[in-house]
Amino acid sequence: MEGEGNRTHIKWTIEGMGDKHYAHIAKIAKGLPDGMLYDRGIPALMAKTLGLAFAIGEITHLPNVMDRGETVLALAVGKVNGKSALGVVTDSRVFFLDKGLVAVRESLTAFDLGVIQTVHTTKSAGGESLTITYSGMTAVMTHIPHGSGDTLAEAIRSAKAAQSASAPAALGQVQSPDVIGQLERLAALRSQGILTEDEFQVQKSSLLAKG
């Protein structure tokens, strides 16, 4: 437990055999009084975002892959590399999450807002496509419901602008994020088989570029 102002942060885990850890956490969370858990802005977005019924597994799992205090700004369903995924924009990064049918198939690709160079959308009869250029590479999400691709793009631009505006102006007041802690978490995901080596290296480069 850790105090912060008028809040108390509690880090909790469930240990046991099998792959039902996160399912147990979600079940316990549902039984807690309203307002006890930080909802990260997810319920409000679910009420106004199309197609999220197809990503309930990913949405339920979202809090487990987010950092403390991280807030979701936009959500959208679509496809990444031909597979269904949930696109998420937060106040610090963008990521695509595919929960899969079992835990070992989970795929998470994330990159910090600071390394994003360009973002744009295209439209077709099959939906919208979002293309993000970051650190000299590109990430593309396709088959996004009409309007939701633009919503993701605008959320990314707004979040980047807010991040730049909040950066310390005075010399020597450079923010120092917990890069080491995030690298350790990425390494753990790789060792569990959740991230491939290529995905690990992309996200590692993103974090180091930010740091």
Report the Cα–Cα distance between both ends of the chain, in Å, rounded.
27
The pLDDT, as a whole number, for residue 143 is 95
Structure confidence by residue, pLDDT tens digits, 40-49: 888 888 888 8
> 100 or 57, which is more confident?
57
Q: Measure the CA–CA gap between 26 and 46, rounded to whole angstroms.
A: 17
- 8: tokens are 């108390």
Q: Measure the CA–CA gap between 84 and 185, rounded to whole angstroms.
A: 24
Residue 120 φ/ψ, nearest 5 degrees = -155, 160
Residue with tokens 């998420």: 88
Residue type, 58: E
According to DSSP, the residues that pair with 36 across neighbouring strands are none
Structure confidence by residue, pLDDT tens digits, 151-189: 999 999 999 998 888 765 443 444 445 677 777 778 877
Q: Measure the CA–CA gap between 23 and 7, rounded to whole angstroms.
A: 26
Q: Is residue 94 scored above 80 in pLDDT?
A: yes
The pLDDT, as a whole number, for residue 91 is 93
Quick check: 129 and 121 in contact, CB under 8 A?
Answer: yes
